Amino acid sequence: MPGRTMSPRRDLMATHQHPGQHPSNEVSINPLYARSGETTVPRYRLPERGLLPDTAYQIVHDEIALDGNARLNLATFVGTWMEPEAQRLYAETADKNMIDKDEYPQTASIEDRCIRIMADLWHAPNPHQALGVSTTGSSEACMLGGLALKRRWQKKQREQGKSTEHPNIVFSSAVQVVWEKFAAYFEVEPRYVDVTPERPHLTPDGVLEVVDENTIAVVPVMGVTYTGIYEPVADICAALDRYQEQTGIDIPVHVDAASGGFVAPFLQPDLPWDFRLPRVQSINTSGHKYGLVYPGLGWAIWRDRHAVPEELVFQVSYLGGSMPTFGLNFSRPGAQVLLQYYNFLRLGRDGYYQVQKACQEVAHFLSREIQKMGPFELLSDGSDIPVFAWKKTHDSNWTLHDLSHLLRERGWQVPAYPLPQRMEDTTIMRVVVRNSFSMDLAHLLLDDIKRAVDQLDKDGALFSSRRPHAKTFHH
Ligand SMILES: *Cc1c(COP(=O)(O)O)cnc(C)c1O
pLDDT in tens, 200-240: 899 999 999 999 999 999 999 999 999 999 999 999 999 99
pLDDT of residue 472: 34
Note the pLDDT of residue 162: 96
Closest CA to 113 of 296, 286, 343: 343
Residue 469 pLDDT: 43
Query: Is 93 within the bounds of a domain?
Result: yes
Read off the DSSP letter of residue 95: T
Confirm or reject: Cβ of 259 under 6 Å from ligand 1. Answer: yes
For 321-355, write each residue's pLDDT tens digit. Answer: 888 888 898 899 999 999 999 999 999 999 999 99
CATH assignment of the domain containing 262: 3.40.640.10
* Burial class for 228, CB neighbours closer than 10 Å (0-12, 13-18, 19+): buried
- Rounded to the nearest angstrom, the distance between the alpha carbon of 135 and the centre of ligand 1 is 12
Q: Are 240 and 207 in contact (CB under 8 A)?
A: yes
Q: Is the pLDDT at 9 greater than 50, yes or no?
A: no
For residues 201 and 185, what is the distance between their CA atoms, to the nearest angstrom?
Answer: 25
Decide: 416 and 399 in contact? Cβ < 8 Å: yes
Say if ligand 1 is within 6 A of residue 178 CB: yes
How many C-beta atoms lie closer than 10 Å to residue 461's C-beta? 15
SS3 content of the chain, % helix, strand, coil (to 5): 40, 15, 45
The residues with which 28 forms a beta bridge, in sequence order, are: 40
Beta strand pairing call for 40-42 and 26-28 = antiparallel
Please report which residue ranges of 256-376 form alpha helices under DSSP H.
Answer: 264-267, 335-372
How many beta carbons lie within 10 A of that of residue 345, not counting itself?
8
Mean pLDDT of 12-20: 50
Residue 390 CA to its chain's centroid (Å): 20
- Contact by Cβ (8 Å): 381, 388: yes
pLDDT at 32: 78
Q: Which residues pair with 50 in a beta bridge?
A: none
| Residue 128, phi then psi, degrees to nearest 5 | -80, -15
pLDDT score recorded for residue 459: 87
Q: What domain range includes position 335?
A: 87-344
Instruction: Report yes or no on 100 lying in a domain.
Output: yes
pLDDT of residue 22: 73
Q: What distance in angstroms lies between residue 241's CA and the mean position of ligand 1's atoms?
A: 28
Whether 24 maps to a domain, the answer reads no
Which pLDDT score is estimated for 13?
45
Residues 338 and 192: their CA atoms lie apart, in Å, by 37
Q: How many domains does the chain have?
A: 1
Rounded to 5 degrees, φ, ψ at 452 are -65, -40
Ligand 1 pocket, residue 282 CB under 6 Å: no
In a domain, 332, yes or no: yes
Confidence label for 420 from pLDDT (cuts 50, 70 and 90) = confident
Contact at 8 Å (CB) between 2 and 424?
no
H helix runs in 160-274, sequence order: 177-185, 204-210, 233-247, 264-267
Task: Give the pLDDT confidence score for residue 464 in this predicted structure.
Answer: 54
The amino acid at residue 464 is S
Assign 374 a pLDDT band (cuts: 50, 70, 90). Answer: confident
Instruction: Tell me if 70 is assigned to some domain.
Output: no
| 413 within a domain of the structure (yes/no) | no
- Predicted confidence at residue 301, as pLDDT, reads 97
Q: Kindly give the distance from the C-alpha atom of residue 172 to the centroid of ligand 1, in angstroms, as a whole number.
A: 15
Helices (H), 163-232: 177-185, 204-210
Alpha-carbon distances of 222 from 38, 318, 426, 445, 458, rounded to whole Å: 54, 35, 22, 27, 40
Q: Tell me the per-residue pLDDT of 242-289, one tens digit each, with 9 for 90 and over.
A: 999 999 999 999 999 999 999 999 999 999 999 999 999 999 999 999
What is the distance between the alpha carbons of residues 356 and 156, in angstroms, rounded to a whole number?
Answer: 41
Share of the chain above pLDDT 90, in %: 72
Helix (H, G, I), strand (E, B) or coil at 315: strand
- Answer yes or no: is the C-beta of 77 below 6 A from any ligand 1 atom: yes
HSE-up of residue 66 (Cα within 13 Å, Cβ side)? 4
Please give the average per-residue pLDDT across 21-42, as a whole number: 81
For ligand 1, say whether the CB of 176 is within 6 Å of any of its atoms: yes
| CA–centroid distance, residue 293 to ligand 1 (Å) | 14
CB 474 within 8 A of CB 177: yes
Whether pLDDT at 361 is above 70: yes
- In the reported structure, the alpha carbon of residue 222 is separated from the centroid of ligand 1 by a whole-number distance in angstroms of 11
Q: Is 258 in the pocket of ligand 1 (CB under 6 A)?
A: yes
> 10 Å Cβ neighbour count for 203?
21
463, part of any domain: no
Ligand 1: nearest atom to the Cα of 298: 7
The total number of residues written for the chain in this structure = 475
* Mean pLDDT, residues 1-6: 40
Predicted pLDDT of residue 21: 60
Picking from 464, 462, 434, 461, the residue whose alpha carbon sits closest to that of residue 72 is 434
The pLDDT of residue 71 is 83
User: pLDDT tens-digit profile of 210-219?
Assistant: 999 999 999 9
Distance separating alpha carbons of residues 327 and 314, to the nearest angstrom: 9
Q: What is the pTM of this model?
A: 0.91
Res 394: pLDDT = 76
d(CA 129, CA 305): 6
Residues 284-305: pLDDT tens digits? 999 999 999 999 999 999 999 8
416 with 408: CB under 8 angstroms?
no
Q: For the chain, how big is the Rg over CA atoms in Å? A: 24
Residue 279's region, left for phi above 0, alpha for psi from -120 to 50, else beta, is alpha
- Cα separation of 81 and 336, whole Å? 13
- Determine the distance from the C-alpha atom of residue 182 to the mean position of all C-alpha atoms in its chain, rounded to a whole number: 15
168: pLDDT strictly greater than 60: yes
- Minimum-distance ligand 1 atom for the alpha carbon of 178: 10
Q: Please indicate, yes or no, if residue 351 is contained in any of the structural domains.
A: no
Find the range with the poorest average confidence among 19-28, 68-77, 253-262.
Answer: 19-28
CA distance 41 to 37: 11
Dump pLDDT digits (tens) for 448-475: 999 999 999 988 877 654 444 443 332 2
Give the neighbor-by-neighbor strand order of the sheet with 387-392: 376-381, 387-392, 427-432, 416-418
- Cα–Cα nearest to 225, from 471, 451, 31, 3: 3
As a whole number, mean pLDDT of residues 112-134 equals 96
Band (35; pLDDT cuts 50, 70, 90): low
